[in-house]
Amino acid sequence: LKIKKILEDIYFFGGSHHSSNTYLLEKQGIIIDPGSSLRGRIKKFLNVLNKVGVSPSRLKYIFLTHSHPDHSQGVKQFVSNYQLKVFAHPLAKIILESKNPFLSLVEREIKETGKYFKELMGVLDYHIIVLISSLVYGKFEPTKVDFTFEVGKILFDDREIEIFFPKAHSVDDVCFYLPKEGIIISGDLFDPHRGNPYSPILITPTADLNFYEKAVDKIIEFKPKYLLPGHGFPIFGEREIYNYLSKVKETIERYKEKTLEILNKNPEASFYEIGKNLEKRKDVSANVLNAYSTLSILGFVVMKALKRPR
Ligand SMILES: [Zn+2]
């Protein structure tokens, strides 16, 4: 488990393929995204905390950036060991508190695909997706969410946190901006260390490329000095972050232009044909789906943003 002190009381704990990064705001006892509990990650996390001299008994709150299992599946284990209060987006609360969070998540995404479900999923039955997910991320039990976030500024002790809902990577995205420190905690809007570090993370049908673009603009306006992503390593420095975000914006533009180009040549182009012209499977973020479905979803999300129904 990689650990890094970002500022005097802000820590980064590295994730893996099946677990997000975790952040700790020590003074307030806030954990952002516990990640997955598979492979003893939560235990390792608590051990590391002890090593850096942070007593787990000081942990008070869990903040979730969204409902995806690689970020939120480990909450249950945390809460059963310590009396932490969980905060999430109102739509994440619905998923997490349902009888079977995986199934609820998959059903929400399927609903978005409408009549295109077969084209996007190919031969995959959605029960199989739920099964594979539980193998990759671990058992996803119903998880109580004590409080839901609202857009705006909150004060936790003397730490100011601005909350906004990008609705970009997932409909239940939450981003945190710490104005005093110039820190953005972005959840899965960014993953600077995958194949194509600048690609927007469009791995589920509810992802929204237009909202993505707006969110990136908003973050650029904050002029952050620290970008703390859901996966991959943090980016430091105003200039570095600006350059990174500009390239993400360029990628979004390229996706749209390329898709229009393909549709001009062939108005009947499949989602897969579009997706595979935008990225290679190895260059987009991990999910449990095969190359066909992953690239089809990418094509679907870009088509949705261009409002080009077939
Ligand atoms: Zn995610």
Q: How far is the CA of 67 from the centre of ligand 1 (A)?
A: 7
Residue 9 clears pLDDT 80, i.e. is over it: yes
Burial 54-67 (b: 16+ CB within 10 A, else e): bebeebebbbbbbb
Mean pLDDT, residues 79-101 = 94
**In sequence order, which residues have a C-beta less than 8 Å from that of residue 300 and are 6 or more positions away?**
113, 116, 120, 205, 271, 275
* Residue 310 pLDDT: 65
Q: Which of 240, 259, 152 is nearest to 202 (CA)?
A: 259
Contact predicate 96/143, CB 8 Å: yes
Three-class DSSP category at 41: helix
Query: Is residue 308 over pLDDT 80?
Result: no
For residue 84, the CA-to-ligand 1 centroid distance in Å is 22
Residue-wise pLDDT for 214-237, tens only, equals: 999 999 999 999 999 999 999 999
| DSSP letter assigned to residue 231 | S
| Residue located via tokens 């077939």 | 310
* Span 251-301, pLDDT tens digits: 999 999 999 999 999 999 999 999 999 999 989 887 878 899 999 999 999
Give the Å distance between the CA of 287 and the centre of ligand 1: 9
Quick one: tokens of 298? 């990418």
Q: In what order do the strands lie in the sheet with 147-148?
A: 3-7, 10-13, 22-25, 30-32, 61-63, 85-88, 147-148
Q: What is the Å distance from ligand 1's center to 294 Cα?
A: 14
pTM over 0.85: yes
Q: State in Å: Cα 109 to ligand 1 middle.
A: 13
Pinpoint the alpha helices (H) of the chain.
41-51, 69-72, 75-81, 90-96, 101-113, 117-121, 126-137, 209-222, 238-265, 271-278, 291-305
Percent of the chain predicted with pLDDT > 90:
72
C-alpha 202 to ligand 1 mean position (Å): 9
Closest among 251, 38, 281, 32 to 161, alpha carbons compared: 32
Question: How many A from CA of 20 to the centre of ligand 1?
Answer: 8
Q: How many CB atoms lie within 10 A of CB 119?
A: 16
**Number of Cβ within a 10 Å radius of residue 79:** 17
84-114: burial string, b at 16+ Cβ within 10 Å, e else: bebbbbebbbbbbebeebbbbbbebbeebbe
Report pLDDT for 244.
Answer: 98
The string of pLDDT tens digits covering residues 31-76 is 999 999 888 888 888 888 888 888 888 899 999 999 999 999 999 9
Q: What is the rounded distance in angstroms from the CA atom of residue 193 to the CA atom of residue 164?
A: 24
| Residue tagged 């909150």 (tokens) | 154
Instruction: Please report the pLDDT score of residue 309 as a whole number.
Output: 62
> What pLDDT, in 10s, does the model give residues 142-192?
999 999 999 999 998 889 999 999 999 999 999 999 999 999 999 999 999
Give the per-residue pLDDT at 135: 81
What separation in Å is there between the alpha carbon of 31 and the centre of ligand 1? 17
Kindly give the distance from the C-alpha atom of residue 170 to the centroid of ligand 1, in angstroms, as a whole number: 7
Q: Is residue 196's pLDDT more than 80?
A: yes
Are 65 and 33 in contact by the 8 Å Cβ rule? The answer is: yes
* Distance from the alpha carbon of residue 169 to the mean position of ligand 1, in angstroms: 7
